[in-house]
C-alpha cells in the first residue's frame, strides 16, 4: 500500500480482518463479480476477450473454493480481496480490471443482500414443512380432548388438534415476515461505488435483472449504508424462534411425568448418565432456549446501525457474525422442531382424564345460568360459590345435590349435572375460530387451503 510507510501492526490486522467469517459469502461474491464483469463488457469498459478471461478465471476460483482448495493468504483481509487476489494470480493483470466501477462497499452490500434473500427463502421452505407437520398432527388428533390452560391452570377443555393449530397460524405469520425480508433485499446496491456513484454509465438495470434484483438502488449513499434487509430477516427470525420456544416449552411441560401428555421419540431424547429411569426432552428444551440468542443477533445489528453516520463505516463489517449465527440457529431449530413433532406420541387417556376434570366445566355452568336470564357477572359469582363449597367439602361439583344447588341459585336444576357430565362442554364452543368440532373442521379446511397456496408459490 503506497500510502503507508510500513506493514500493519498484527493486532490491527486481526481486528480488521473479516475473512474468518465472510468467506461464507464466496458464492454470492463470485455471482456478483460475474454479473459485474458482464456489465463492464457491455459498456465496453473491458473487451470481450477480457470478459472471457475473467469469466474463466472466476469459474476456476469458484471451483477451488467449492473443493476447499483455495489457500487463503495472510494479506487476504476479506473474501472480496481473497477472490480478486486469486483471480489475478490465475489470469494475470486483467484480474485487476474486475474492480473497475466497483467498491467493496457496494460489493459487500450486494453480496449480503443476495445471501439474505437466499436464506429468507430457505427459512420459508422450512416453515412450510413445519406447518405441514403441524397440520397432519392436528388432523390426526382433531377429536382428542385435553384441558386448555390460562396461567398454566386448567381453564376449559379443548381439542388437541385445535391447540396444535395455534402454532400453525403463528408459523403462517412467520412465513409472511420472511417473505417480507426477502422482498426488502430487492434494490441492488452494486453500481453505487464507494458512496457517490461511478464515473461509468453502467447499465445497472441489466445487472439487477441478471442477479435477480427488482431494480437498482435509487440512492448510492443509502445503498452502501443500508442493512435494513438483514434487520428484517433478524426480526422475522426472532419472532419465529420465539414461537418455537413456546412450542418447546409446552413439549417440555407436557412430557413431564406430572403431565404425561406426550413423549418424544427415543431418537429425539436423551437419557441421564446416572438416573436410568430418565428420558429428557433436550431438543424441546433447546428450542426453548434458542430464542434469546436470535434476539441477541437482532439487537447486535440494531446496535451497530444505531446513530452510525452515512455512508459506509467499518462498523458495518460487524453485521455478519450475528446474522450468520441467527441464520444457522433458526434453520436448525425449524428442522429440529419438525422432526421432534414427527416423533412425538400423545397419550389419549392422560389427556382425556385431565380434560375430564369437572372444574374445567365451570364456565359452562355459568353459561347455563346466563341462558336462563342471569347476568354473566352474577352467574360467575354463583359458580364461584359452588366451586368454593365443593373444594371446602372435598367433593366434586357433581356431588353437590339439588338442595345444595338450591342454596346457590333457584335457576339450577338437573341440567347442571348434564353440563358437568362431559362431552357437551367441548362442542358447545361453536363460534368461528373456537375449539368445537364444527369450527375446528372449518379451521382444518382453511389451514389445508393456506398451506396448498403457499406450496404453490414455492
Ligand atoms: N470486509 C468489509 C465489510 O465486511 C468489506 C468492505 C470494506 N470496505 C472498506 N471501505 N474498507 O464491510
Per residue of the chain (458 residues), give pLDDT as tens: 568 899 999 999 999 999 999 999 999 999 999 999 999 999 999 999 999 999 999 999 999 999 999 999 989 999 999 999 999 999 999 999 999 999 999 999 999 999 999 999 999 999 999 999 999 999 999 999 999 999 999 998 999 999 999 999 999 999 999 999 999 999 999 999 999 999 999 999 999 999 999 999 999 999 999 999 999 999 999 999 999 999 999 999 999 999 999 999 999 988 877 777 778 999 999 999 999 999 999 999 999 999 999 999 999 999 999 999 999 999 999 999 999 999 999 999 999 999 887 877 888 889 899 999 999 999 999 999 999 999 999 999 999 999 999 999 999 999 899 888 766 678 888 899 999 999 999 999 999 999 999 988 76
Q: What is the rounded CA–CA span in Å between residue 294 and residue 241?
A: 7
111 CB near ligand 1 (under 6 Å): no
With b for 16 or more beta-carbon neighbours within 10 A and e for fewer, the 438-451 pattern comes to ebbeebbeebeebb
Q: Which of 12, 15, 78 should be mutated for ligand 1, with most atoms under 8 A from CB?
A: 78
105 lines ligand 1 (CB under 6 A): yes
Q: What is the Rg, in whole angstroms, of the alpha carbon atoms belonging to the chain?
A: 30
Q: By alpha-carbon position, which residue is closest to atom 12 of ligand 1?
A: 317
Ligand 1 in reach of 316 Cβ (< 6 A)? yes
Q: How far is CA 297 from CA 78, 130, 334, 337, in A?
A: 21, 23, 17, 21
Question: Which one of 151, 273, 297, 398 is the catalytic residue?
Answer: 151
Ligand 1 atom 10: residue of nearest CA: 105
Q: What is the pLDDT of residue 275?
A: 78
163 is catalytic: no
171: three-class secondary structure by DSSP: helix
Question: What is residue 166's predicted lDDT score, i.e. its pLDDT?
Answer: 98
Cell numbers representing residue 336 in the block: 429440529
What is the pLDDT at residue 1?
Answer: 53
The grid coordinates of residue 273 equal 448418565
Task: Read off the pTM.
Answer: 0.93
> Which pLDDT value is given to residue 2?
67
Among 17, 32, 33, 108, name the best residue to mutate to test ligand 1's pocket (greatest count of ligand atoms within 8 A of Cβ).
108
Rounded to the nearest whole angstrom, what is the distance from the C-alpha of residue 305 to the centroid of ligand 1? 15
**77 Cα to the center of ligand 1, angstroms:** 9
- Name the nearest CA neighbour of 34 among 7, 53, 13: 53
Q: What is the pLDDT at residue 421?
A: 76
Query: How far, in Å, is the centroid of ligand 1 from the Cα of 104?
Result: 6
Contacts of 271 (CB under 8 A, 6+ apart): 278, 279, 280
Identify the CATH number of the domain defined by range 10-100: 1.10.275.10
Is the minimum distance from the CB of 220 to ligand 1 under 6 angstroms?
A: no
CATH architecture of 105-354: Up-down Bundle (1.20)
Is ligand 1 within 6 A of the CB of residue 76? Answer: no
The answer to whether the CB of 50 is under 6 A from ligand 1 is no
Check if 141 is active-site: no
Hey, where are the domains in the chain?
10-100, 105-354, 356-457
**Alpha-carbon distance 442 to 424, whole Å?**
19
Of the options 1.10.40.30, 3.40.640.10, 1.20.1050.10, 3.40.50.10260, the CATH number for the domain spanning 356-457: 1.10.40.30
Per-residue burial over 182-192, b = 16 or more CB atoms within 10 Å of its CB, e = otherwise:
bebbebbbbbb
Does residue 312 line the site of ligand 1, with CB under 6 A? yes
Question: Rounded distance, CA 81 to CA 89, Å?
Answer: 12
pLDDT in tens, 321-339: 999 999 999 999 999 999 9
Amino acid at each position: 500500500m503506497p500510502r503507508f510507510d510500513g506493514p500493519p501492526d498484527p493486532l490491527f490486522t486481526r481486528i480488521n480482518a473479516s475473512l474468518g467469517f465472510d468467506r461464507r459469502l464466496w458464492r454470492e461474491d463470485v455471482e456478483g463479480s460475474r454479473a459485474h464483469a458482464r456489465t463492464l463488457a457491455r459498456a465496453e469498459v473491458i473487451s470481450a476477450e477480457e470478459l472471457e478471461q475473467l469469466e474463466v478465471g472466476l469459474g476456476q476460483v469458484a471451483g477451488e473454493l467449492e473443493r476447499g482448495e483455495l489457500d487463503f493468504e495472510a494479506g487476504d483481509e476479506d473474501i472480496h480481496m481473497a477472490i480478486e487476489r486469486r483471480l489475478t494470480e490465475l489470469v494475470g493483470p486483467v484480474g485487476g480490471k474486475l474492480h473497475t466501477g466497483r467498491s467493496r462497499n457496494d460489493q459487500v452490500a450486494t453480496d449480503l443482500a443476495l445471501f439474505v434473500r437466499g436464506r429468507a427463502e430457505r427459512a420459508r421452505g422450512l416453515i412450510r414443512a413445519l406447518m405441514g407437520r403441524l397440520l397432519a398432527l392436528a388432523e390426526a388428533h382433531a377429536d382428542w380432548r385435553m384441558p386448555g390452560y390460562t396461567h398454566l391452570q386448567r381453564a376449559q377443555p379443548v381439542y388437541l388438534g385445535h391447540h396444535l393449530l395455534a402454532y400453525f397460524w403463528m408459523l403462517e405469520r412467520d412465513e409472511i415476515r420472511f417473505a417480507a425480508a426477502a422482498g426488502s433485499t430487492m434494490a441492488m446496491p452494486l453500481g453505487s461505488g464507494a458512496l457517490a456513484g461511478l464515473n461509468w454509465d453502467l447499465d445497472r438495470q441489466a445487472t439487477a435483472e441478471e442477479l435477480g434484483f427488482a431494480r437498482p438502488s435509487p440512492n448510492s449513499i443509502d445503498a452502501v449504508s443500508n442493512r435494513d434487509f438483514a434487520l428484517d430477516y433478524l426480526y422475522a427470525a426472532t419472532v419465529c424462534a420465539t414461537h418455537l420456544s413456546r412450542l418447546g416449552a409446552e413439549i417440555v411441560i407436557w412430557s413431564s411425568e406430572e403431565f404425561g401428555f406426550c413423549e418424544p421419540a427415543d431418537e429425539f431424547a436423551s437419557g441421564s448418565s446416572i438416573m436410568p429411569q430418565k428420558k429428557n426432552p433436550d431438543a424441546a428444551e433447546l428450542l426453548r432456549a434458542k430464542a434469546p440468542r436470535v434476539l441477541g443477533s437482532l439487537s447486535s445489528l440494531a446496535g451497530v446501525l444505531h446513530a452510525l453516520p452515512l455512508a459506509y463505516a467499518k462498523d458495518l463489517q460487524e453485521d455478519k457474525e450475528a446474522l450468520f449465527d441467527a441464520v444457522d440457529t433458526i434453520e436448525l431449530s425449524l428442522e429440529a422442531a419438525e422432526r421432534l413433532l414427527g416423533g412425538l406420541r400423545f397419550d389419549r387417556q392422560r389427556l382425556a382424564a385431565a380434560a375430564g376434570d369437572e372444574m374445567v366445566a365451570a364456565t359452562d355452568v355459568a353459561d347455563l345460568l346466563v341462558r336462563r336470564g342471569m347476568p354473566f357477572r352474577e352467574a360467575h359469582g354463583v359458580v364461584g360459590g359452588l366451586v368454593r363449597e365443593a373444594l371446602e367439602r372435598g367433593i366434586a361439583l357433581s356431588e353437590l345435590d339439588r338442595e345444595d344447588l338450591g342454596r346457590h341459585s333457584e335457576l339450577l336444576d338437573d341440567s347442571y349435572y348434564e353440563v358437568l357430565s362431559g362431552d357437551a362442554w367441548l362442542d358447545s364452543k361453536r363460534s368461528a375460530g373456537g375449539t368445537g368440532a364444527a369450527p375446528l373442521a372449518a379451521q382444518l379446511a382453511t389451514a389445508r387451503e393456506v398451506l396448498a397456496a403457499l406450496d404453490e408459490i414455492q
